[in-house]
Amino acid sequence: MKDSLVLLGRVPAHPDSRCWFLAWNPAGTLLASCGGDRRIRIWGTEGDSWICKSVLSEGHQRTVRKVAWSPCGNYLASASFDATTCIWKKNQDDFECVTTLEGHENEVKSVAWAPSGNLLATCSRDKSVWVWEVDEEDEYECVSVLNSHTQDVKHVVWHPSQELLASASYDDTVKLYREEEDDWVCCATLEGHESTVWSLAFDPSGQRLASCSDDRTVRIWRQYLPGNEQGEVHYLSCRGGMQRLLTQWKCICTLSGFHSRTIYDIACLTGALATACGDDAIRVFQEDPNSDPQQPTFSLTAHLHQAHSQDVNCVAWNPKEPGLLASCSDDGEVAFWKYQRPEGL
């Protein structure tokens, strides 16, 4: 297990500050980092090392909490505690802030692009999740304001192929949303975590959703569509006696006892997931080869103590290079790792 996660390098991404989040561009060639120093940095490789190619410093007045690349790779969105979300347009190594999305009452905690590239979601400590639409002229309009959560919303993420949105909150739940007629609705609430849900990740196929929490567990959820072969059937009894088949989400696996502190982030690959923990460690779990897809089991295949000198805030798998993992921490550093799948798994 010691050799399964190897350090490739570290960079002092946000010196004297925290590094909050990382995002690989869709091509896997650039890594965006953001932090408490109100800056966003874009990292690229030069030979064997990682160098800072751009610094985006005039966008925000407070901590930048999350960054997200558009599916085409030409835009970067940044969510900040200053209650705004900036949209940056990439022009080779330069980034220009083309729009600032306002409207949230207070700190924006997360931003995410839908797979189509036409929709954006943001969420905030004001307990709401907003869906925005962008048109051909790069104009953004608010399409929906969803007030389903009862507390601070920490993270939003889109399904990899459908227009399905998931959010995680301080109210201990995960909620899912989709468009119905001319508005967005909350179509499911996943309960089970006993404390704040900090982050979410869909697996590349979109069949499963992983969540991680302050309760030190990871939960894997699976969507059961109407007519599924497992016979899972759920009805919604509407007013008027009409009944409607709902897709239901069930928790099919809980990973507990592995983390000694809050789990702040989770990142999924097919059959594997990485976690960022408040005990300064990074862990990787692999799905057991013969486990039942309806009740999967996972084994801990990498546990790197002291991956950083403080809380690990984010882990992100490179979308193109298998096994390349980036992580960042309250210590302001970004680290790059190579994960080797252990033999026999």
Interface with other proteins (CB under 8 A): 62-63, 81, 102-103, 105, 107, 126, 128, 141-148, 150, 152, 170, 180, 182-186, 195-196, 214, 238-242, 261-262, 278-280, 310-311, 330
When the beta carbons of 54 and 196 are compared against other proteins, the nearer one is: 196
When the beta carbons of 222 and 308 are compared against other proteins, the nearer one is: 308
> In the bound complex, what is the minimum distance in angstroms from residue 144's beta carbon to other proteins?
6
> In the bound complex, what is the minimum distance in angstroms from residue 152's beta carbon to other proteins?
7
Structure-token pair, residue 205: 């196929």
Q: Judge whether 325 and 336 are in contact, CB under 8 Å.
A: yes
When the beta carbons of 50 and 81 are compared against other proteins, the nearer one is: 81
The DSSP annotation for 285-301 comes to: EEE-TT-BTTB--EEEE
Name the nearest CA neighbour of 59 among 45, 76, 72.
76
Q: What residue type is assigned to position 165 of the chain?
A: L
- 3-class state of residue 139 by DSSP: coil
Antiparallel, parallel or unpaired: β 85-91 and 49-56: unpaired
Q: How far apart are CA 338 and CA 315, in angstroms?
A: 12
> In the bound complex, what is the minimum distance in angstroms from residue 182's beta carbon to other proteins?
4
When the beta carbons of 107 and 203 are compared against other proteins, the nearer one is: 107
When the beta carbons of 54 and 275 are compared against other proteins, the nearer one is: 275
> In the bound complex, what is the minimum distance in angstroms from residue 342's beta carbon to other proteins?
27
> In the bound complex, what is the minimum distance in angstroms from residue 138's beta carbon to other proteins?
13
When the beta carbons of 149 and 208 are compared against other proteins, the nearer one is: 149
Q: How far apart are CA 76 and CA 90, in angstroms?
A: 8
Name the nearest CA neighbour of 212 among 222, 197, 201.
197
When the beta carbons of 57 and 106 are compared against other proteins, the nearer one is: 106
* Main-chain dihedrals φ then ψ at residue 184, nearest 5 degrees: -95, 140
> In the bound complex, what is the minimum distance in angstroms from residue 67's beta carbon to other proteins?
17
> In the bound complex, what is the minimum distance in angstroms from residue 142's beta carbon to other proteins?
4
- 3-class state of residue 55 by DSSP: strand
Q: How far apart are CA 3 and CA 343, in angstroms?
A: 11
